[in-house]
Structure 1
Amino acid sequence: MAVPAAASVRDANRYRPPAVTGLLDLLDRQVRERPYARALVVTGERVHLSYRGLAALADDVADRLGRTGLGRGDAVGLLCANTAEFVVALLGAARAGLVVAPLDPALPSPQLSARLAALGARAVLVGPSVSDAVLPVPRWPLRVGVSRAGTVAVTLENGGAPEVPGVAGELSDHDALVLFTAGTTDRAKMVPLTHANVAASIQHICATYELGPGDATVAVLPFFHSHGLFAALLASLASGGCVLLPERGRFSAGTFWDDMRAVTATWFTAVPAIHELLLDRSEREYPGPQAQPLRFVRSCGAPLNTATQRALERTFGAPLLSAYGMTESSHQVTSEPLPERGALKQGSVGRPTGGEVRIVDRSGRACPVGVEGEVWAHGPAVARGYPGDRDGTAYTFVDGWLRTGDLGALDEDGYLSLTGRIKNLITRGGEKISPERVEDILAGCPGVAEAAVFAVPDAVYGQRVAAAVVVRAGDSVGPAEILRYCRDRLAAFEVPDRLEVVAALPYTAKGGLDRKAVRDRFAR
């Protein structure tokens, strides 16, 4: 039976997500009921850190921060890789009533300074192995010592915290986080998320995948973005699971399967680029029958072509569940369900999880089933706006709805299929072309590992379609063969006018294709 092009899903099964109110009580139930269960596996020696131990460290940091003169609702930055220091600093600052802004440690000093200044952060908690960048506010080094015997200790060097102008005055102790959207300094936006936003997101993720104390995962993606933070770290800790933090806090394809085995992982989440990397290396590195059985594998952050999805499922012996989310929605908006909870539809990103999705045309009217339009999202995990940016807030947040900027359509079962990004559309002689669609076709060509499609200016058509592709190691497929493959599957105006085989494509820290860098590098 057909339904309107809007959908919502309620958790109707027996699983109940963890009852948390935000970062403040994230660990409380586990500390009461399972204090000695492992929460984290850390360092190269893979030492276990229990829920009780993690909570004690967070309380210690909260106590120290409470004596610095910072008030509830004050903002602090957090510069750290995916190490124990990140988790302890995040939870400790939250327990002290502070608002935490995780930042990418790899950003150049001017970008870090610009973000901290715009926020009005009063200090920065700094983990190990972070560069000595010159910052506009005090650096407070934080270290966690974990021995093989299980003893733990924390040190925090702190001093004064001057008042700094910025948008921090728009924050309160109801806020838990400020995350920065992906992009360069001039395009990145600040997104404040309340404890209620955080709790809703965690509950939706846990309910979708029925996460519990029997689950464990490896942290693949950085915690300074919402994907790694919410899906891998916070949902796991709230549900009583365990997270292994790779050595030095960074993903390594070479140690990934050893890490998965070490933590007895039941699932993991990553962006398509990492899935492609693991698949390409699987013949040499995937342990096969000796691998830890997985309940599911999750993909989010960019479109995953169906050929890769099928290959991943065959190789890893687990369902691949595609999800969709963004920073402004506290990560997850939709996801494919577990196989026992609903149909898996390759090419879709599943059904809404804990909120609503509707498809809207250019006039603001809801589109019928199957008709493409802009994806709008609504629910308790959606942020309130962008502090210090009234115009951006007014455009993006409309009567409680989040305008995502993504194009898509809902089917009769309420499953969302994404077709592109509005700002990425290429206009060739009046025809609108989705680069994501062309990339999906290119990625399906035998021998092609990755593809990026972009516009190049043209005096006659306005824009033409160009593509840069990476060929799999050992394959000799060339531009002529790739274009022949495209002509059989694309409209004539969608076929790239120019195609170049390149050694590698640039990616953002979040793991998505860096389209600006692609244009700068290849649109010559």
Structure 2
Amino acid sequence: MAVPAAASVRDANRYRPAEVTGLADLLDRQVRERPDARALVVTGERVHLSYRGLAFLAEDVAARLGGAGLRPGDAVGLICANTAEFVVGLLGAARAGLVAAPLDPALPGSQLSARLMALGARAVLLDPSVPGVSPLPVPPAWPLRVDVSRAGTAAVVLEPGVCEVSQGGGAAGELSDRDALVLFTAGTTARAKMVPLTHANVAASVRNICATYELGPGDATVAVMPFFHGHGLFAALLASLASGGCVLLPERGRFSAGTFWDDMRAVGATWFTAVPAIHEILLDRSEREYPGPQAPPLKFVRSCSAPLNTATQRALERTFGAPLLSAYGMTESSHQATSEPLPQRGALRQGSVGRPTGVEVRVVDRGGHACPVGVEGEVWVQGPTVARGYLADGDESARTFVDGWLRTGDLGALDEDGYLSLTGRIKNLINRGGEKISPEHVEDILAGCPGVAEAAVFAVPDGVYGQRVGAAVVVREADGVGREEILRYCRDRLAAFEVPDRLELVATLPYTAKGGLDRKAVQSRYAP
């Protein structure tokens, strides 16, 4: 008996758990079952690249890397924007058994080389269209281009003279063919830590993300966050490909608020994920640019990598007509550790980052004992997504990874249903005469003040109290809110010792490449 067409569509779009064991087989199920389905939409002309075509390109790169003398467990760098070159280079390295280390292409060449040398990368796959990167002093760079025709056919171009590889060394001696990735934490060259993630870590993370949001072949998204950090890499790219969905890579490989909604409509997006700063940008521009009824209907919107204030969350949900789900994770936990569930799978809790997704989460006191429900402590995470430690940094590994638990350095509390609420970072706390103040809490209050677009709270050195509270605030020009109005709003909602002693109105705030508030830059700019 023939299956009705409508039933076939429902079956194709029904959620099925992702079947992956790591990066190397990420595409296998889709190539086997849906080879001609679109995997990526690329270039300014929005060309569709199928799963079969993407797998072919990855195999081509894998063969060339192996032919150059690279062997399973060797480390290679990957310096690209969110382009087809990144995806093909990453998957090609994985299929060759190599360990890929994505890096921020905006870093100076000297810093890129320093990180690659510390890792012991034997070569680096480099998109030559990235400005200001080439040439790198070390290691040997392999210029990689993916030429995609309007018909969706593609070919890999590795430019002449790319067969050289370095001797390696560095931290790569701690890697094996069980490892898939090395991600660098945010920080300067000296302080950025190298996090090795195994294929098992990657697979567990991808499966958890797909299951949390019930991602499937009917889903599509636009790559907003950079792939050299876990947020964009795991949540947008890998989870989409593992579930059979589609990812649009914006022109020139970077987010543009001006083309975002056109991109969303072009791919038929059902969701997207971003940091709060980008959500704020989209919200501020929504009156001019949000297409309203012409926008694709969204199942949900996701926010991660920094706290999202309640006022912004409510405004986004009203504007986009979809639930906004907050998630929480770290590089060391292969990105996601908790998330709010889809509305049909659980309640949304105001101020929460949701429940654990495939890991165990506990909140502990200074002695390492579990805190009672509702009591603040440090958030610890344990499970199959947690890394084994840092490369070439035994002391920091011993401090951060304890008996299989990742000590996140974040403060939070669990409620009676296991939902986690974050209250700040331990290292960010302001000590005003013995009163411990969370900058994140004060920022959340400031962001709720009518007319305030963004806020950053920092410690101001003080001879009497040790530290006082400072704030840099960006206001919306059209609202004309002033300093005294903002302070009155704070006095009505904060304890007296939490109200900023210094409040400056500024044009913009500095952000890291990952999209989070750059607190070091804020401190140096406004605290003196």
Please give the per-residue CA displacement for 1:379-415, whole angstroms capped at 9, x wherever unaligned: 1000000011011100100111000000000000100
Q: What are structure 1's unaligned runs of at least 5 residues?
A: 1-13
SS at match of 1:164: coil
Displacement of 1:341 after TM fit? 0.2
- Residue 116 of structure 1 corresponds to which residue in structure 2? 116
Separation in structure 2 between the aligned mates of residue 366 and residue 166 of structure 1, nearest angstrom: 38
Amino acid at match of 1:512: G
Scaled by the length of structure 2, what TM-score is found? 0.96
In the alignment, is residue 224 of structure 1 matched against residue 207 of structure 2?
no
Describe how 1:98-177 pairs up with structure 2 within 5 A.
98-130=98-130, 131=132, 132-157=134-159, 158-177=162-181
Separation in structure 2 between the aligned mates of residue 298 and residue 186 of structure 1, nearest angstrom: 32
Describe how 1:251-262 pairs up with structure 2 within 5 A.
251-262=255-266
The runs of at least 4 aligned residues of structure 1 exceeding 3 Å deviation read: none
Please give the per-residue CA displacement for 1:303-350, whole angstroms capped at 9, x wherever unaligned: 001111010000000000000000000000000000000000120000
- Residue 448 of structure 1 corresponds to which residue in structure 2? 452
Amino acid at match of 1:20: V
Separation in structure 2 between the aligned mates of residue 78 and residue 106 of structure 1, nearest angstrom: 13
Contact 1:27 1:237 in 2 (8 A): yes
Displacement of 1:466 after TM fit? 0.3
Contact 2:121 2:166 in 1 (8 A): no
Separation in structure 2 between the aligned mates of residue 247 and residue 38 of structure 1, nearest angstrom: 17
In the alignment, is residue 242 of structure 1 matched against residue 258 of structure 2?
no
* Equivalent of 2:487 in 477, 483, 498: 483
In the alignment, is residue 295 of structure 1 matched against residue 299 of structure 2?
yes
Displacement of 1:473 after TM fit? 2.8
Separation in structure 2 between the aligned mates of residue 255 and residue 499 of structure 1, nearest angstrom: 35
- Residue 325 of structure 2 corresponds to which residue in structure 1? 321
Amino acid at match of 1:152: A
Describe how 1:376-387 pairs up with structure 2 within 5 A.
376-387=380-391
Displacement of 1:188 after TM fit? 1.2
Displacement of 1:170 after TM fit? 0.1
Separation in structure 1 between the aligned mates of residue 25 and residue 136 of structure 2, nearest angstrom: 34
Displacement of 1:159 after TM fit? 1.8
Amino acid at match of 1:122: R
Contact 1:17 1:204 in 2 (8 A): no
In the alignment, is residue 509 of structure 1 matched against residue 513 of structure 2?
yes
Separation in structure 2 between the aligned mates of residue 152 and residue 477 of structure 1, nearest angstrom: 53
* Equivalent of 2:202 in 175, 186, 198: 198
SS at match of 1:89: helix
Contact 1:112 1:135 in 2 (8 A): no
Separation in structure 2 between the aligned mates of residue 501 and residue 25 of structure 1, nearest angstrom: 51
Scaled by the length of structure 1, what TM-score is found? 0.97
Displacement of 1:520 after TM fit? 1.2
Deviates further, 206-215 or 176-185: 176-185
- Residue 4 of structure 1 corresponds to which residue in structure 2? none
In the alignment, is residue 404 of structure 1 matched against residue 408 of structure 2?
yes
Displacement of 1:15 after TM fit? 4.7
Amino acid at match of 1:349: V
Q: CA RMSD in A?
A: 0.9
Separation in structure 2 between the aligned mates of residue 463 and residue 223 of structure 1, nearest angstrom: 38
Amino acid at match of 1:29: R
Contact 1:78 1:124 in 2 (8 A): yes
Separation in structure 2 between the aligned mates of residue 220 and residue 109 of structure 1, nearest angstrom: 24
Structure of higher RCO (CA pairs closer than 8 Å, 6+ residues apart): 1
Amino acid at match of 1:54: L
- Residue 347 of structure 2 corresponds to which residue in structure 1? 343
- Residue 9 of structure 2 corresponds to which residue in structure 1? none
Separation in structure 1 between the aligned mates of residue 281 and residue 217 of structure 2, nearest angstrom: 29
Q: How many residues align?
A: 511
Separation in structure 2 between the aligned mates of residue 73 and residue 114 of structure 1, nearest angstrom: 20
Describe how 1:409-488 pairs up with structure 2 within 5 A.
409-488=413-492
Contact 2:42 2:251 in 1 (8 A): yes
Deviates further, 178-187 or 220-229: 178-187
Contact 2:15 2:215 in 1 (8 A): no
SS at match of 1:31: helix
Amino acid at match of 2:98: L
Contact 1:420 1:435 in 2 (8 A): yes
Separation in structure 1 between the aligned mates of residue 332 and residue 135 of structure 2, nearest angstrom: 28
Displacement of 1:168 after TM fit? 0.2
Displacement of 1:33 after TM fit? 0.4
Displacement of 1:34 after TM fit? 0.3
Separation in structure 2 between the aligned mates of residue 146 and residue 165 of structure 1, nearest angstrom: 36
Separation in structure 2 between the aligned mates of residue 46 and residue 162 of structure 1, nearest angstrom: 37
In the alignment, is residue 39 of structure 1 matched against residue 39 of structure 2?
yes
Contact 1:192 1:387 in 2 (8 A): yes
- Residue 284 of structure 2 corresponds to which residue in structure 1? 280
SS at match of 2:41: strand
Amino acid at match of 1:198: V
Contact 2:16 2:216 in 1 (8 A): no
Separation in structure 1 between the aligned mates of residue 499 and residue 104 of structure 2, nearest angstrom: 37
Displacement of 1:187 after TM fit? 2.0
SS at match of 1:73: coil
Displacement of 1:514 after TM fit? 0.3
Deviates further, 102-111 or 334-343: 102-111
Separation in structure 1 between the aligned mates of residue 135 and residue 150 of structure 2, nearest angstrom: 32
Separation in structure 2 between the aligned mates of residue 128 and residue 137 of structure 1, nearest angstrom: 15
Contact 2:77 2:101 in 1 (8 A): yes
Displacement of 1:521 after TM fit? 1.1
Please give the per-residue CA displacement for 1:168-190, whole angstroms capped at 9, x wherever unaligned: 00000000000001122222110
Separation in structure 1 between the aligned mates of residue 137 and residue 353 of structure 2, nearest angstrom: 40
Displacement of 1:133 after TM fit? 4.5
Amino acid at match of 2:526: F
